[in-house]
Structure 1
Amino acid sequence: MKFCLIDAGIFIDKPELLDPLRAIGEVEVFNGIPAGTEEVIERAGDADVIAFGLMQFTEEMLDALPKLKVLQFIGTGMWNFVNVDYAQSRGIKVLNIDGYGSNAVAEFATAMALALAKNIPPADRVLKEDRWSIDGLMGKEMKGSTVGVVGTGSIGRLSAEKFAALGAEVIACDIYESDYLKENYKIQYKSMKEIFMEADIVTLHMKVTEENERIIDYKLLSLMKKDALLINVARAELVNTEDLYKALISGNLAGAAIDVYDSEPPTARDYQLAQLKNVIATPHIGYYTQEANDNSIKMTVSSILAAL
């Protein structure tokens, strides 16, 4: 049996984590996203199992891999990277992992909010430009601020805990209310409209469904306070990018921090959004810590073995 980690070399910091796969077959590891179908075939044309973490798998690529039995995404949200229904119609099991980086992403959301609230990126630019000035750099404290957490699953729950520990008043929105958060942190659940009207910072932690795709639109964004901030380290598909850009350049929204994009690598429109001075944009690194990385490889190996 042949296993191919087709683009995941960057994640293999500890090769010994792949030993359970080596015990039952040949393992090949590649770095970087393949340039196209031809390179996919070069790397994995004879693979029974492919694990991937960065690339988009097209139907053409799947058609070119006749031996493929298992396609394992090293992350959450495989539906954004491959047509799962099409793969399954070809007899390919498509798998992902969940929960490997919940704390990493929750910490990242908190860090993004603090960086925006404290004006850290523009303050850094002042010194890099050989200037000394505090004009326009007054920050806001997290203590006493109202933070709206939209989605209180594993990552949202941890985010709520971290903001509460900083002294923020945390409110939340989710169709499934967390008794743990209500009992231990006195967090109130409110409607989406109320969250956007009341919060100084809104942080998104929902999974994407047909019902909530592009739910964050100009109508919701226009309800926010003029000095409010939006954090999206969840899924780009939750937000209407055009409406977010409009809100940011019009002054309806003070700032945004973004770690996820409709297409990765991003489109020209995403880069235009990233270039705004009131935006912090990062290349989808919220999950990327040593601890979460090790968890992801361990869980990937376990998922593959369970599928064989």
Structure 2
Amino acid sequence: MGAREIGLPMRVPGSSELPDSVTIWEVGPRDGLQNESSIVDVAVKLEFIDRLARAGLSIVESTSFVHPKWVPQLADAEELLAGLSPAAGVRYPVLVPNERGLERAIRAGVADIAIFGSATRSFAERNLNSDLDAQFEMFAPVVAGAREAGMTVRAYISMAFGDPWEGPVDPAQVVSVGNRLLELGCTQLSIGDTIGVATAGHVEQLLDGFRAAGTGMDALAVHFHDTYGQALANTFAALRCGVRTVDSSAGGLGGCPYAESATGNLATEDLVWLLDGLGVRHGVDLDLLADASVWLAERLGRPSPSRVVRALRD
């Protein structure tokens, strides 16, 4: 059964506290598939990306130029980008960890990149082979080179609410690190709850901290994991604070290879269901999106983790 047959959720007039529209930043092909235990064939990835674009997603983060030793599931980045058939009006960002990755992205003709920073020292050491301050020295030439090449640059800031080695993270530290990433020349900062420990109160507190520091909500995005079942509540809190870009993964795929306690990303279908009920425009066809997730789940050999996908298709 599809969303059209059910006729739910009922669309209601948008609240004055909420944005009229939200941009969904789809991370499934990159963040979702990077944790698979077996290699997914590039043809399957290309079909998945195409299905997501046909569902109406305007941003589909497609792959990463991280070294294959660290993320072997994305070792086919060049092959995938060469085989991609871009849809009109759709952006296909790639994650770029360093200058070498930027060189690969430029050769591949990429228009949008993302870098991946850390709000904590422990995660920076484990993930970036760096420390909290040295990461900016690593990212500065990447951002400068990308902007010189005409690319847009997004920055992810991981462990923004909690760190498995350090515990709760001081919001002031997250604001400081995040604004330093923006000051490098990044066009957007995606705030990541990497291990899924945030609550709506934490989200409001952190976003209030960015606002107090002079950072506009239009420069921010949110990226929630659903470890404790709080991803949708956290998203709602962020929307009420004025955030207009939300990261999600079709079917709820993904986690974090550097944080063993992290479960899947917020499912794009669950996000769309929420936005529909709030009367917030997003441009995505839920039935086509659910079809794409079921199609991929069949090839991965397991059901989709998304509650909405299961409700619509079981």
Q: Do both share a fold (TM > 0.5)?
A: no
Structure 2-normalised TM-score?
0.32
Higher relative contact order (CA 8 A, sep 6+): 2
